[in-house]
Amino acid sequence: MEKRNNKQKAIIFSVVFLLFITLGLGVIYFNWQNNYRNRINPGIKIGQVDLSGLTKDQAENKIDVEANRLETSGLTMSYADKQVTLPSVIALNTDLSFPVFTYDREKTMQKVLSASSQNSFFSYLSSFVTKVFSDQNIEMVYSLDKDRAKSFLSENLKDLEIKPLDASFTIKKNTGYDLSFAIEPERVGKQIDYDSAFDHIEEHLKNLDSK
């Protein structure tokens, strides 16, 4: 009798569990059908720019607005106690200018669409489950002219750099034949860590972060 009761309980539990799973999948499918079909999957971002639930055109427009904002304002950096803004374009005069960094919006959008199969429920389901644990970050595609950027930073941060000097021995003539000797101590230099600076720049560029 007890065996029979345990079997019935197991059957009831299995039926309830299957109903729960079916209901859950039904709700998720309804949400996809009404809010995410032909749209970007949930949890897809570029830095803090959330693209979830947007159409292709809406996502392109949002990326373009954020990229334009950073290209217009430049990238603000702090080094020691000094702030400097790296512009996207350096103008030598009214007729001549050179790009420092630019965004490839088309290639970035291709990456976003590749991560979001817009007509696939199973792709949406995978993104839905993944979002429970973490968002999916897509990095912006960009180009950076490091030579021009380094030249700009070097010019604007030159007052923070100190050239090193080796210790030196000097002789000073006083009155008559009296000479005095002195040792000038070594001076430790201070250089800008450009490798660290570019790590900072690239991290912010790929995440559309201007600071």
Helix (H, G, I), strand (E, B) or coil at 85: strand
Confidence check: pLDDT of 101 > 80:
yes
Confidence (pLDDT) at 159:
73
Identify which of 54, 53, 37 has the alpha carbon closest to the alpha carbon of residue 121.
Answer: 37
Confidence check: pLDDT of 179 > 80:
no
Q: How far apart are CA 161 and CA 51, in angstroms?
A: 42
With cut-offs at 50, 70 and 90, classify the pLDDT of residue 72.
very high
Q: Quickly tell me which residue has 């949930």 as its tokens.
A: 42
Per-position DSSP letters for 101-117, written without gaps between them:
EEE-HHHHHHHHHHT--
Confidence check: pLDDT of 176 > 70:
no
CB-CB contact of 68 with 79 (8 Å): no
Tens digits of residue pLDDT in 119-175:
566 666 666 666 655 678 999 999 999 999 999 988 887 776 656 555 555 556 566
